[in-house]
């Protein structure tokens, strides 16, 4: 994982995820924006309580950091479910559309070049999917609710149907999220998670003081592998958002009154 900075905007990329240079991608931090506390500074959470003009400026800065038009950024009203949205057309506007025009869902897919698929997170797991053969890309928002509903598996199945993706060639990159070090869960969540994938001992660990801790990465990894993706095609950013207050927003750490960071992937325009 490589840290990059553009005019104060800090984000992370993994060059080994896309050695051919088919796509653009980035996991953005909270650094480099204009939002005031407690949303300081690169907040993109449209329903966080931050000033809309600050969020708009932050999106413009993110677009500049990746050298893409802000209007190419496609977003969702994320609802912590398993609905997958396939983006078939390139946005015509030069500015991102307002939230009331966003579809509901928790995964975005596209084979359209020049479309940037974006997620906002503050502990939930962002997952990038890349089919280098089609080519096509996907962005999945996997919190515990989406994970128990198998959102990653739903997105992979949709890529198979829509794009003819071969899971054995699919590449997966998991970004910064809350780690098991900071993710205790109660018996109801633990029970639902245990039913969501084989080998729950890999992603659910008992706590000495009672209850469980959940490893979102491992839970989603088990589901992704069950779809036929080879283990060597999975890559991880092993960073806990809750443990890094200087870099990431975290609802677990700070409560709901905080910002959201952006994760973005898209196919580069003009490639065969």
For the chain, 272 residues long, give each residue's pLDDT as a single digit of tens: 899 999 999 999 999 999 999 999 999 999 999 999 999 999 999 999 999 999 999 999 999 999 999 999 999 999 999 999 999 876 666 566 678 888 999 999 999 999 999 999 999 999 999 999 999 999 999 999 999 999 999 999 999 999 999 999 999 999 999 999 999 999 999 999 999 998 999 999 999 888 899 999 999 999 999 999 999 999 999 899 999 999 999 999 999 999 999 999 999 987 44
What pLDDT score was predicted for residue 91?
65
Q: Which residues are 141's β-sheet partners? A: 126
What pLDDT score was predicted for residue 92?
65
Residue 85 inside a domain? The answer is: yes
Q: What is the total count of domains within the chain?
A: 1
Residue 93 inside a domain? The answer is: yes
What pLDDT score was predicted for residue 272?
45
What pLDDT score was predicted for residue 93?
60
Residue 203 inside a domain? The answer is: no
Q: Which whole-number Å values give the CA distances from 119 to 40, 43, 91, 128, 140, in the listed order?
A: 18, 12, 17, 10, 8
The whole domain housing 140 covers 2-177+231-267
Residue 131 inside a domain? The answer is: yes
pTM of the model: 0.96
Residue 128 inside a domain? The answer is: yes
- Listed in sequence order, the residues at least 6 apart from 11 whose beta carbon sits closer than 8 Å to its beta carbon are 3, 4, 5, 26, 27, 28, 29, 62, 65
Residue 194 inside a domain? The answer is: no
What pLDDT score was predicted for residue 100?
82
Residue 151 inside a domain? The answer is: yes
What pLDDT score was predicted for residue 101?
81
CA angle 118, 8, 123 (to 5 degrees): 40
**Structural contact between residues 237 and 1, judged by C-beta atoms closer than 8 angstroms:** yes
For residue 261, give both structure tokens: 């960071």
Residue with tokens 């990329």: 13
């Amino acid at each position: 994982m490589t840290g990059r900075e553009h005019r104060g905007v800090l984000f992370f990329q993994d060059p080994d995820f896309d050695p051919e240079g088919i796509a653009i991608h980035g996991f953005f931090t909270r650094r480099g924006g204009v939002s005031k506390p407690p949303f300081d500074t690169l907040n993109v959470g449209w329903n966080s309580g931050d000033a809309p003009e600050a969020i708009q400026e932050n999106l413009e800065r993110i677009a500049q950091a990746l050298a893409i038009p802000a209007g190419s950024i496609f977003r969702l009203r994320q609802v912590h479910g398993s609905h997958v949205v396939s983006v078939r057309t390139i946005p015509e506007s030069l500015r991102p559309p307002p939230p009331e025009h966003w579809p509901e869902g928790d995964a975005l897919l596209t084979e359209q070049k020049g479309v940037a698929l974006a997620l906002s997170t503050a502990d939930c797991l962002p997952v990038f999917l890349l089919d280098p053969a089609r080519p096509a890309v996907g962005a999945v928002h996997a919190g515990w609710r989406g994970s128990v509903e198998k959102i990653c598996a739903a997105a992979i199945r949709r890529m198979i149907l829509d794009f003819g993706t071969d899971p054995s060639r699919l590449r997966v990159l998991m970004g910064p999220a809350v780690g098991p070090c900071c993710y205790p869960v109660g018996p109801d969540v633990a029970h639902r998670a245990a039913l969501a994938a084989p080998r729950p001992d890999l992603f659910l660990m008992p706590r000495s003081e009672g209850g469980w801790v959940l490893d979102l990465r491992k839970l989603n990894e088990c589901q992704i592998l069950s779809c036929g993706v080879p283990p060597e095609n999975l890559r991880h950013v092993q960073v806990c958002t809750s443990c890094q207050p200087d870099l990431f927003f975290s609802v677990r750490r700070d409560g709901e009154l905080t910002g959201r960071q952006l994760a973005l992937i898209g196919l580069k325009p003009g490639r065969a």
